[in-house]
Amino acid sequence: MWSLTDFYAEWCGPCQAMKPALAKFETEYAGKVTVKRVDVDKEQSVAMQSNVMGIPTFILYQDAKEMDRRSGAMPYEVFKSWVDSIVK
């Protein structure tokens, strides 16, 4: 099973800019990739365990194993292309 974790903060402009893309992604990939959001201010230990150094950071997991990660805001098509290159 594939999952995507979005590490974000409420005060982070680029994180907020990715919200519509993530909503669209959740709809398009329903049943294929589950999405979890982690607020780094509220769950600092989770962010530290995942070695998140900047936000937004997106980590793709397959069966709880990290497969790839990307940081920073990006257009939806770039985000989707990244996921599609890994989730086959």
Q: Does the active-site annotation cover 70?
A: no
Residue 15 known to be catalytic: yes
Which of 6, 8, 12, 50 is catalytic? The answer is 12
Q: Which of 4, 7, 15, 52 is catalytic?
A: 15
Opening angle at CA 51, ends 49 and 54, nearest 5: 130
- The Cβ of residue 74 has, within 10 Å, a number of other Cβ atoms equal to 18
- Alpha-carbon span 68 to 58, nearest angstrom: 8
Task: Name the residues annotated as catalytic.
Answer: 12, 15
